[in-house]
Structure 1
Amino acid sequence: MNTDRFVIEFDKALRTLFAPAPTTRDVPGGEQPEAVLSEEERAHAGALMRVNHVGEVCAQALYQGQALSCRDPAVRQTLQQAAYEETEHLAWTERRLVELHGRKSLLNPLWYLGALAIGIGAGKLGDDWSLGFLAETEKQVEAHLDRHLGELPWQDLKSRAIVEQMRVDEISHAATAERLGARELPAAARVAMRLAGRAMTRTTYYL
């Protein structure tokens, strides 16, 4: 990687971890009134949104790593477009965390570096495998968001609207990857991804 490219990619990492994320779309649920929540409900909703925020930090790193090692310019463009939409998710969850008086994960730099390494590794396996990894990741994120919709306080319409729109976008990303030739991952790989995701979400709920 030449020096200019390194600086660009390093800047992306710093922006993801430390700068407010941009969004061109209105924040879902922005027109909804703030819910009346107990301290326990607010803390739980904040922890769930912290988990979702970490997921978006990891998504940025995964897409960045995959784009770096991608061979097909069309696939690279798709990854970059998906990363842009995930940046909006990053902005939405970040804003909601502030509203819920929550905080970001203390382990964000660690999650980012790990996801970046996984993304680069997936990309080096070939574009069809990289797209397969993307599709499976989005399917597992969709299932994760479904669980959060079941756990969020029913009256927290702001958080629910954000999670619902994120779910719609993740389904779209998975469908795009499959359309471009994603290869289905082996069952063992899917299980390993699920277990790793579960460990990350449990840790992030508290840290």
Structure 2
Amino acid sequence: MLKLPSFDQLITEFDTVLRTLAAPATSARKHPDAALEEAELSDAEKSHAAGLMRVNHCGEVCAQALYQGQALTARDPAAREALKQAAQEEVEHLAWTERRLGELGSHRSVLNPLWYAGSFAMGVTAGVIGDKWNLGFLAETERQVTAHLESHLSQLPEQDAKSRAIVTQMAIDETSHAEQAVALGAAPLPLPVVQLMTATSKVMTSLSYRI
């Protein structure tokens, strides 16, 4: 049976929203690009790298909201813990991409609050349906995010070692999250759901690259 959150828990969840959307993120791990030198990039290369990193940052905002909603409605303690662990690593990804955006002279997507709200609603819905579907949604999300990250590695300027190091480590983490969800009993999602997730992701990435 789904347990309704307490008032204190709701306050904590609201604090998570504010920290994700408004406060600078921090990383417990060393930034993947910390030891790398800044490359010489043309204005066009810098703009393209910034667009890709903005997409990645936006994706991490969505992940925070998604996992927050899923953990809030998860019934199984193991599933809830897996979601919270994944969310913590996504906070580090937020920190890495946010700092890189600043280094590239760019900004976060102004549409982040909109994406956060939509992703949170999707996460709550997945959790209400049931834990195996909740985990299945996590696994499929991470697979799609990994595919995006791998495509970005082929698009980033070859000499932009800093951005590439960040994206590479993010892809490793996302793959690990998907594998963990499967190990915990994730159910494969129906094809129409996967297709809807893919279509929604395309809209998000297209807009956040520019805005």
Tell me, what secondary structure is at the counterpart of 1:89?
Answer: helix
Is 1:73 matched with 2:81?
Answer: no
User: How many pairs does the alignment contain?
Assistant: 207
Q: Which segments of 5 or more consecutive residues in structure 2 lack a partner in the other structure?
A: none
Is 1:135 matched with 2:133?
Answer: no
Is 1:39 matched with 2:43?
Answer: yes
After TM superposition, the structure 1 = structure 2 runs for residues 180-195 of structure 1, keeping only pairs within 5 Å, are 180-195=184-199
* In structure 1, distance between residues paired with 2:25 and 2:204: 22
* CA deviation vs aligned residue, 1:123-178 (integer Å, no higher than 9, x gap): 01100000000000000011100110010000000000000000000000000000
User: Could you tell me which residue of structure 1 aligns to residue 177 of structure 2?
Assistant: 173
Tell me, what secondary structure is at the counterpart of 2:159?
Answer: coil
After TM superposition, the structure 1 = structure 2 runs for residues 123-162 of structure 1, keeping only pairs within 5 Å, are 123-162=127-166
Deviation of residue 8 (structure 1)? 0.6
* CA deviation vs aligned residue, 1:88-124 (integer Å, no higher than 9, x gap): 0000000100000010001111110110000000001
* In structure 2, distance between residues paired with 1:111 and 1:75: 24
Q: TM-score, normalised by structure 1?
A: 0.99
User: Once superposed, what is the RMSD of the aligned Cα atoms?
Assistant: 0.6
User: Could you tell me which residue of structure 1 aligns to residue 59 of structure 2?
Assistant: 55
* In structure 2, distance between residues paired with 1:115 and 1:93: 19
Q: TM-score, normalised by structure 2?
A: 0.97
Tell me, what secondary structure is at the counterpart of 1:52?
Answer: helix
Is 1:200 matched with 2:200?
Answer: no
Moved >6 Å (runs of 4+) = none
* In structure 2, distance between residues paired with 1:78 and 1:139: 16
Q: Which segments of 5 or more consecutive residues in structure 1 lack a partner in the other structure?
A: none
Q: Report sequence identity in percent.
A: 58
* In structure 1, distance between residues paired with 2:165 and 2:39: 13
* In structure 2, distance between residues paired with 1:8 and 1:29: 32
Amino acid at match of 1:103: H
Is 1:16 matched with 2:8?
Answer: no
User: Could you tell me which residue of structure 1 aligns to residue 68 of structure 2?
Assistant: 64
* In structure 2, distance between residues paired with 1:107 and 1:169: 25
